[in-house]
Amino acid sequence: DAGVIQSPRHEVTEMGQEVTLRCKPISGHDYLFWYRQTMMRGLELLIYFNNNVPIDDSGMPEDRFSAKMPNASFSTLKIQPSEPRDSAVYFCASSLYRQITYEQYFGPGTRLTVT
Amino acid sequence: RKEVEQDPGPFNVPEGATVAFNCTYSNSASQSFFWYRQDCRKEPKLLMSVYSSGNEDGRFTAQLNRASQYISLLIRDSKLSDSATYLCVVSSNTGGFKTIFGAGTRLFVKA
């Protein structure tokens, strides 16, 4: 069974460019999460969706960040315009709600470098 | 005070040793607790969920103390392959779903 799929795995871009990260969650999972990980701040939740609906985007750092989930099998995280401080590893994770547990399964991440 | 706190380590132990990690959390309404493992330049992977009654999976034992608001992970008979960062994770669904990852504890197991 395929896990969470993310693309691209690596992205190098110049400041000011638009960046789009993609995620395909595990089939049947009803929650999808976007995280950012840096050495300084660790793993931070940016936004999560339930049944394709954004529930909480309070972790999104600025209006330059936006996320969509047009269907149950695809989500995007867009940064426009990108800045060097956005350099980080971005993870997508999905989960299936079972009672009160939310075991999350992570994709391999996208390593973003903004120069 | 951070919502989830872990000793960052690193813990350096020889093969075969027993090592324990602790994690404290501040939200008493937290409902779900997990330990994740993250290898260098890889994604976090679920190691085990933590239940109130405690649970064991092979060499790994997790405990939850709700009164004191801490979670522990015990690794027995450490292997070289156990070298990784261990992340404590706390979730709640009161007033909206919320998941907080600890900063992680680094473990190095040496031959």
pLDDT band at B51 (very low <50, low <70, confident <90, very high): confident
Beta strands in chain A (DSSP E): 5-7, 10-13, 19-24, 31-38, 42-50, 53-56, 65-71, 74-79, 88-95, 104-106, 110-114
Smallest Cβ–Cβ distance between B103 and the set A31, A42, A104 belongs to A42
Q: Are A48 and A55 in contact (CB under 8 A)?
A: yes
Cα B41 to Cα B64: distance, rounded to the nearest angstrom: 29
Phi-psi region of A58 (alpha: psi -120 to 50; beta: other; left: phi over 0): alpha
Smallest Cβ–Cβ distance between A107 and the set B43, B91, B103 belongs to B43
Position A98 scores a pLDDT of 67
Nearest chain A residue to B48 by CA: give it.
A103
At B88-103, the pLDDT tens digits run 999 887 766 778 899 9
Cα A32 to Cα A23: distance, rounded to the nearest angstrom: 9
